Amino acid sequence: MEKLIFSFIVIFLVTPLTVFGVDCSQLTTQEEIHALVAAAKEAYPLERSKISGQLIVSPCEKSECSKKNIELRKKKLMTLHSLRVGDDKRTYFIQGENAPMCVVTRGIRKFKCSDCSAISNDECRSFNSKSSIEGTNLDSVDMQILNSADYINTCEPYKKSKKFFKIIATKQSGNSLYDKIVTFYEQKRGVFIKINYYAENVLRKVYRFTSKKYVAFDGRSLATEIKVRSTQGSEKKYSFETKLTIGKTNNKLNAYANPDQDPFIENMPLDVLFAHD
């Protein structure tokens, strides 16, 4: 099984983006669907197995999200540096209400460090949190359950457009909040377009990826803009929203496939960057 998943992922990673295509005829087993999910998650900056760069995060309560309250939303704007290498992760809050805090994850353990810089972590303590980024509704468990064995997946064409298809995941066991997850994929590149999470047949959360905001990055796709809403039955009825974008300098993305190339962390050894003592 592991060999099959690995082979399928390799196909996703080495096939040129301009000619790649996938549809339900290629997704007839759970292993094939899990491999699709694993490859698609690599385009999400918070789940990519190796990436370093700057993120702009804009969270807001529903009352603060409208254009007329843009100044309220700006007050919660966060600039952070995100480093991810396998199971090790570091999120350093550069600007915003959490700054200068950082969160370091080493395997299954997570640490919050109250005194941080671009290259150091001090005053760290262990803590538990399901959030990918503190102060937002970006939850790490949302992506983890997409290829969980607790769900049975089926692939269906998207009737409104042949450019997309959808995977429907139905919970069979486990303690996840969500009974059903419907993920829409772009057929050409096999990337996420939208992920709908349902609890008791009510839409509770939506991750929306914009097709035009994917870019070629290290031979693969990278999503540069994502919007996540905690919903109350429909995407328009929401209580909280987070927008996540990759920062730019002189119109160039502040993102690096190899952390050694990221000038922000000054070529500091990874052991130092992930230290939490």
Burial of 253 (0-12, 13-18, 19+ CB in 10 A): middle
Helix residue ranges, H only, 26-185: 30-41, 70-75, 140-144
Question: Tens digit of pLDDT for each residue in 145-172?
Answer: 999 999 999 999 999 999 999 999 999 9
Tally of residues, the chain: 277
Positive or negative: CA dihedral 111, 114, 117, 122:
negative
Q: Report residue 231's pLDDT band, with 50, 70 and 90 as the boundaries.
A: very high
Q: What is the mean pLDDT of residues 197-212?
A: 96
Q: Tell the residue number behind the tokens 């692939």, with chain if given.
A: 155
Structure tokens at 251: 């119109």
Name the amino acid, one letter, at 117.
S
With CA atoms as reference, report the closest residue to 128 among 115, 140, 143: 140
Share of the chain above pLDDT 70, in %: 93
User: How far from 215 is each of 7, 44, 210, CA to CA, in Å?
Assistant: 24, 11, 11
Report pTM. Answer: 0.90
Rounded CA separation 65/73 (Å): 6
Q: Which residues pair with 126 in a beta bridge?
A: 111
Question: Tens digit of pLDDT for each residue in 68-117?
Answer: 888 889 999 999 999 999 999 999 999 998 999 999 999 889 999 999 99
pLDDT at 12: 46
More confident residue, 74 or 15: 74
Q: Tell the residue number behind the tokens 């905001």, with chain if given.
A: 213
